[in-house]
Amino acid sequence: MAYIEYPECGKIINTHGCRGGVKIEPWCDSPGIFAALPTVYFKKGTEMTAVRVCRASVLGNRFVCAELEGVNTMEAADALRGRVLYAKRSDLKIPKGTLLVAELIGLPVWHAESGKQLGTLSDVIHPGATDIYVIATDKGEAMVPVVKEFVREVDIEKGIVIAPIEGMFS
């Protein structure tokens, strides 16, 4: 595994206004993080195309409305509906050593005491006070709260080391 240079950061879900604005569902920790991006990227094959964000604002604490350079009509904005947007990792102002959810997915999950592989991280959900790791095992899924009592180490090269309680993986 490696750091993702251009992580997915949102999706254009609709037009906004009649002058080419787009409504975006941000996939960042908050809509404000997305709204502060100076540039977003479209992916075509393995190539990234940069598009300057002319203006962006948070709409209703859940969405972002943005004006993108070169998108000047409702028709041009509508043609972008459904497109996934990417951000340059350095534009996200992520503290050094911080991993993105997309970088965690697929990491092996190891038992802290036995060293046995318990499964693979398949998702991270955010239901409330703490995130939950969803771990795919040979018996189905197990869910582990992301707290220091359970999650002992997260390393992009080694994987995730946890100390589960009895019955968590039964």
The CATH number of the domain where 116 resides is what?
A: 2.30.30.240
- Let me know if residue 167 belongs to a domain: no
Evaluate whether 10 touches 23 at the Cβ level (below 8 Å): no
Q: Domain for residue 2, yes or no?
A: no
Q: Are residues 107 and 77 in the same domain?
A: no
**Residue 88 shares a structural domain with residue 124:** no
Cβ atoms within 10 A of the Cβ of 162, count? Answer: 23
First to last CA, the chain: 28
Residue at 53 is within a domain = yes
Domain C-terminal end among 92, 111, 133:
92
Q: Which of 45, 68, 92 is the last residue in one of the domains?
A: 92
What whole-number percentage of the chain has pLDDT above 90?
Answer: 70
For residues 39 and 52, what is the distance between their CA atoms, to the nearest angstrom?
A: 4
Q: pLDDT tens digits, residue range 124-168? A: 988 878 889 999 999 999 999 999 999 999 998 899 999 998 888
State residue 87 phi and psi, 5-degree precision: -125, 150
Whether residues 63 and 31 share a domain: the answer is yes
Do 74 and 24 fall within a single domain?
Answer: yes
User: CA 86, 89, 92 angle in degrees (round to 5)?
Assistant: 90
- Report the residue count for the chain: 170
The CA-CA-CA angle for residues 45, 98, 67, to 5°, reads 50
51 in Cβ contact with 42 (< 8 Å):
yes
Domain count along the chain: 2
Judged against a pLDDT cut of 90, whether residue 95 lies above it is answered with: no
Which residues sit opposite 42 in a β-bridge?
A: 49
Helices (H), 5-163: 31-35, 74-78, 101-104
The answer to whether position 169 is within a domain reads no
Among residues 63, 92, 121, the one where a domain terminates is: 92
Average pLDDT, the chain: 92
For 146, the domain range is 101-162
CATH number at residue 14: 2.40.30.60
- Would you state the structure tokens that stand for residue 8, as one six-digit string? 């997915």
Q: Which residue has the tokens 């604005």?
A: 21
Name, of 30-34, 63-67, 102-106, the range with top average pLDDT: 63-67
In a domain, 170, yes or no: no
